[in-house]
Amino acid sequence: MVLRRRGEMFLNHLAFAMPAPGASFRQDELRSTSLMVLRARFEGGLVDESLHRPCSTRGSVWSRARIVLDGPLCTDAEVTPGQMVVTSFGVPARSLTLSSDWLELVWRSAQPTTAVATLSARSLMRARTLARTLEGNDLASALGALSDLLGDLQALGFAFGAPSDDAKAGRFARTLWHRAMDLESQPMAVDLADALGVSERHALRQTSQFLQQFHLSASSWRELMQCLRLEIGTFFMSNPNAKTEDVSRYLGFRSPTGFCHAFHDAGLPSPQTIHRDLRVA
């Protein structure tokens, strides 16, 4: 597998937490137009990507490598901490415990089959170092840690170019996610426009351009908000102590009924069904 030069990258963070049931999700990321590096941590719930919005046709030409740091997950095979699974981007994963931590590399290249590899002690250490570095705001350190890991992964058939900085995209990403993460306040495009200091129409256009360059599951402000509410909603509803009314309020729905209608419209089971069925075996 060969990865071409990525182009410039930026560092970003997003997080969602509901202290009452004890569930949280955090993602720290480096993104470019051809490589995305994501550290995802889930506490107090299960992830089932088969319930997520299907990726766009753009996702069909992307691959994903997940390095499991904590908590086993299942794709076409069970993957345990210290292992890496490489799949096409659209192959869903499911976490198997209420605490999961994995590092993902997503790149522009089709991966026809699933492959699982056990990392060497040095490679796993470098993956953990990169994961820790992504938590902060020191882009140079994150890029350095990424380069160290990519150098190790060359032995497994990867080839990478040198990472660099994309400050302009990073500023836009931070503004976008600052608004999008406050789901309870029902953020709208006009709120994003105010934060950017541009017209609503211009904000929507900028958002679509940004998402089409750097994301695969949404290509507009509306799609992004729908994806967030569905994905974060299914995760929080998997918590054993979750209540529909609390989760619906956190996600910005006016009532639990609206929450249920959104799941129905997306072809998903009801929130209560997910709460009942999406449990640790």
pLDDT (tens digit per residue) in 120-166: 999 999 999 999 999 999 988 998 999 899 888 877 776 554 455 56
- Looking at per-residue pLDDT, the higher value among 57 and 68 belongs to 68
Q: What is the residue-wise DSSP string for 95-147?
A: ESSSEEEEEEEEESS---S-EEEEPPHHHHHHHHHHHHHHTSS-HHHHHHHHH
Residue 52 counted as domain residue: yes
Q: Where does the pLDDT of residue 1 fall: very low under 50, low under 70, confident under 90, or very high at 90 and above? A: very low
- Predicted confidence at residue 34, as pLDDT, reads 82
Q: Which domain holds residue 191?
A: 167-277
Same domain flag for 12 and 150: yes
- Predicted confidence at residue 96, as pLDDT, reads 92
- Predicted confidence at residue 3, as pLDDT, reads 35
Nearest residue to 18 (alpha-carbon basis) of 253, 258, 273, 251: 251
Q: Which of 136, 164, 192 is the last residue of a domain?
A: 164
Report how far residue 116's alpha carbon sits from residue 197's, in angstroms, rounded to the nearest whole number: 47
Q: Where does the pLDDT of residue 172 fall: very low under 50, low under 70, confident under 90, or very high at 90 and above? A: very high
- Predicted confidence at residue 199, as pLDDT, reads 96
**123-129 CB contacts, 8 Å cutoff, 24+ apart:** 123/149, 123/152, 123/153, 124/67, 124/82, 126/152, 127/67, 127/69, 127/103, 128/69
Domains held by the chain: number: 2
Residue 263 counted as domain residue: yes
Q: Where does the pLDDT of residue 27 fall: very low under 50, low under 70, confident under 90, or very high at 90 and above? A: very high
Span 217-265, pLDDT tens digits: 899 999 999 999 999 999 999 999 999 999 999 999 999 999 999 999 9
Same domain flag for 118 and 202: no
- Predicted confidence at residue 88, as pLDDT, reads 87
- Predicted confidence at residue 95, as pLDDT, reads 94
Same domain flag for 128 and 245: no
Is pLDDT above 90 for 69? yes
CATH code of the domain covering residue 133 = 2.60.120.10
Q: Where does the pLDDT of residue 56 fall: very low under 50, low under 70, confident under 90, or very high at 90 and above? A: low
* % of the chain with per-residue pLDDT over 90: 67
Is pLDDT above 90 for 115? no
Is pLDDT above 60 for 59? no
